Amino acid sequence: MTLERKTLEAAWKRHERRWADNLYVYAVVSRRSGGVSVGVNLNPGKECNFDCVYCQVDRKVPPAVRKVDLDRLRDELDRVLEAERDGSLYDAPPFALLGADQRGVRDIAFSGDGEPTTFRGLAEAVGIAADARRRFHLDAMKIVLITDSAYLDKPAVREALALMDANNGEIWAKLDAGTEAYFRAVDRPNVSLQVVLDNILAAARVRPVVIQTLWMHLHGEMPPDAEVEAYCARLNELLDAGAQLKALQIHTIARAPAEAFAAMLADAELDALAGKVAARVPVPVEKYYGIRN
């Protein structure tokens, strides 16, 4: 492992969804964003409609707060962005580990401790992020929605997506399976795989969408070849139906998962799996390896 990767992994391990005394807004060093990502947690009560076996949210610990105060959220976002602008964010780990070329806010990401589209005020929260983006002159910065896609068809969510479209927004849609059986084994969802696929298609016909897929060992086994083939088939069906897929983010477990039977892929295993996908699906593949202890 190179010294640069060791340094970056030390930063990636520090992925706490807390910053200073903030309740909703935090900053992390993000592998996928390529630098500083400002997270907005719209689910501080840890509500989620999926129960993924690889989830890193510790639901054994009671939440500090359950409701979202949008006025406080706005103030917290300003504090984080101001700390990045004046450089004080980089005074302490993990941000102090970043080189000059890795600094700067890459995105404001709606992620946090649950599914952000379950929050009824999502459009208003996106508006707060868009306003901050303008006021801090972060023209290149993205507003990212990281979602399981179960609720992308809801009118309130479509309103939020339209606002994102006008403010350099991007959807990162989870798709962890090609078959219903594997989908239920991995994501333990409240909707069918077909609902997820239909919602991704509808969203991706309007704007380019990034697909996020996490592969892992389950009970010591690699994802079956038939499952990977089915996953590729679902992606190609989306493309054939008019979906604009910008990239496929192929990654594996990076921190302690919810279930002990879920484990990270080795680098070579992820390389081989990503290679199979790249050979079958005409969409750029990005790889994100596991983080070692």
The Cβ of residue 28 has, within 10 Å, a number of other Cβ atoms equal to 21
pLDDT computed for residue 15 by the predictor: 46
- From the list 120, 145, 127, the residue with the least C-alpha distance to 39 is 145
Coil, strand or helix: which one is 212? strand
Structure tokens at 178: 């090609």
Q: Who's near 130: CB < 8 A, 6+ residues apart?
A: 143, 163, 164, 166, 167
Residue 7 backbone dihedrals phi, psi, to 5 degrees: -65, -45
Query: Distance (Å, rounded) from C-alpha 5 to C-alpha 283?
Result: 26
Query: Distance (Å, rounded) from C-alpha 206 to C-alpha 68?
Result: 29
Q: What b/e readout covers 182-203, taking b as 16+ CB neighbours within 10 angstroms?
A: bbeebbebebebebbbbbbbbb
pLDDT computed for residue 292 by the predictor: 63
Would you give per-residue pLDDT tens digits along the chain (293 residues)? 443 545 445 444 444 555 568 999 999 988 888 889 999 999 999 989 999 999 988 888 887 788 999 999 999 999 999 999 999 999 988 889 888 888 999 999 998 899 999 999 999 999 999 999 999 999 999 999 999 999 999 999 999 999 999 999 999 999 999 999 999 999 999 999 999 999 999 999 999 999 999 999 999 999 999 999 999 999 999 999 999 999 999 999 988 899 999 999 999 999 999 999 999 999 999 999 987 65
Query: Distance (Å, rounded) from C-alpha 292 to C-alpha 256?
Result: 11
Coil, strand or helix: which one is 64? coil
Coil, strand or helix: which one is 139? coil
Coil, strand or helix: which one is 109? strand
Q: Domains of the chain: which residue ranges?
A: 3-288
Residue 81 backbone dihedrals phi, psi, to 5 degrees: -65, -35
pLDDT computed for residue 162 by the predictor: 98
Query: Strands of 105-110's sheet, edge to edge?
Result: 25-30, 35-40, 105-110, 142-147, 169-174, 209-214, 245-251, 285-288
Using only C-alpha atoms, what is the Rg of the chain? 18
pLDDT computed for residue 101 by the predictor: 85
Cβ atoms of 11 and 89 closer than 8 Å: no
Taking CA atoms, 287 is separated from 240, 250, 256, in Å, by: 24, 5, 19
Which residue type does 238 have? L
pLDDT computed for residue 3 by the predictor: 38
The fold of 3-288 is TIM Barrel (3.20.20)
The Cβ of residue 277 has, within 10 Å, a number of other Cβ atoms equal to 20
pLDDT computed for residue 139 by the predictor: 94
